[in-house]
Amino acid sequence: KFERWVREMGLSLLALRAREAAEKGNPVARDYPSEYIKGLVRRGQAKILVNMFAAYLVHRGLATQYWLIKNKFVAGGESIATWLRLLKKT
């Protein structure tokens, strides 16, 4: 289910992330959103998928953010919160 969800939602979430960065004043995200997304994926790679998966679990009610952090499945809550905030915008 997550694989299908990533195919359906992943690109729109990344586009929302670029739009949010542009609104905060990031010139690359504002002028070259596709390059911003490429750089984000290049730098984050597996970490982005892990955090998206964690946000997916929390969004679906299958886990809590606190539980994921407490059991060290993810390093911190800030990046999960970012994806959750973007999920609420969709």
Q: Per-residue pLDDT tens for 38-82?
A: 998 888 777 888 888 888 889 889 999 899 888 888 877 678 888
Round to whole Å and give the CA distance between 20 and 74.
23
How many domains, the chain? 1
pTM score, whole prediction: 0.74
Q: Is the pLDDT of residue 22 over 90?
A: yes
Q: Look up the domain containing 73 and give its range.
A: 2-89
Ramachandran angles phi, psi of 71, nearest 5°: -90, 10
